[in-house]
Amino acid sequence: MVVTIIYLAIIVFLLFFIIWNMFTEKDIMLQIDAALVIIPLVLRLLLIK
């Protein structure tokens, strides 16, 4: 379905910037925040949860 493809594209878009942000961020606490956000987004991207 088209709406699912758009939805997955938005997740990829967000994941790219979250991971980018994780590598450029100097604050470990914010890096941990980013790592936590990645988990549900990847599970959703793989259509597991």
Partner 1 sequence: MTLSIKTKHNVLSALILLALAAGAIVYLSLQFTRMWTPDPVYEGKNPSVKEVRRLSDYNENLKGSKGDTNIYVIEGDEPGDSMLILGGVHANEPAGMLAAVYLVENLHPKAGTVYVIPYTNEAGFTCNDPLEASPMFFSIDTPTGPRQFRFGARVTNPVCQWPDPDIYVHASSGQRLAGSETRNLNRTYPGRTNGTFTEQISYGLVQLIKAEDIAVTIDLHEASPEYQTINTTVAESRAMKVATTGRFNMDWDGITMSVEQSPTTFHGLSHIELGTWTDTLALLMETSNPSQGREHGLTGSDLVIYGKDKFYARVKAAVGLKDSDYSEEYGRPIQQRVARHITAINAYAAAYTEEFANAAAAEDKLTAFTSMGLGASSYPDSDGHIIYEGRRGVIDLGELPSYDTLCTDLFDYLAIPEGQN
7-17 in b/e burial notation, b at 16+ Cβ within 10 A? eeeebeeebee
Total residues contacting partner 1 by CB under 8 A comes to 26
Which residues lie below 8 Å from residue 37, measured CB to CB, with a gap of 6+?
Answer: 18
Measured from the CB of residue 20, what is the shortest distance to partner 1 in angstroms? 10
Q: Take residue 21 and report the two structure tokens written for it.
A: 């942000």
Interactions with partner 1, residue window 2-41 (CB under 8 A): 3-4, 7, 19, 22-32, 34-36, 38-39
Residues that bind partner 1 in the complex, under the rule CB under 8 A:
3-4, 7, 19, 22-32, 34-36, 38-39, 42-43, 46-49
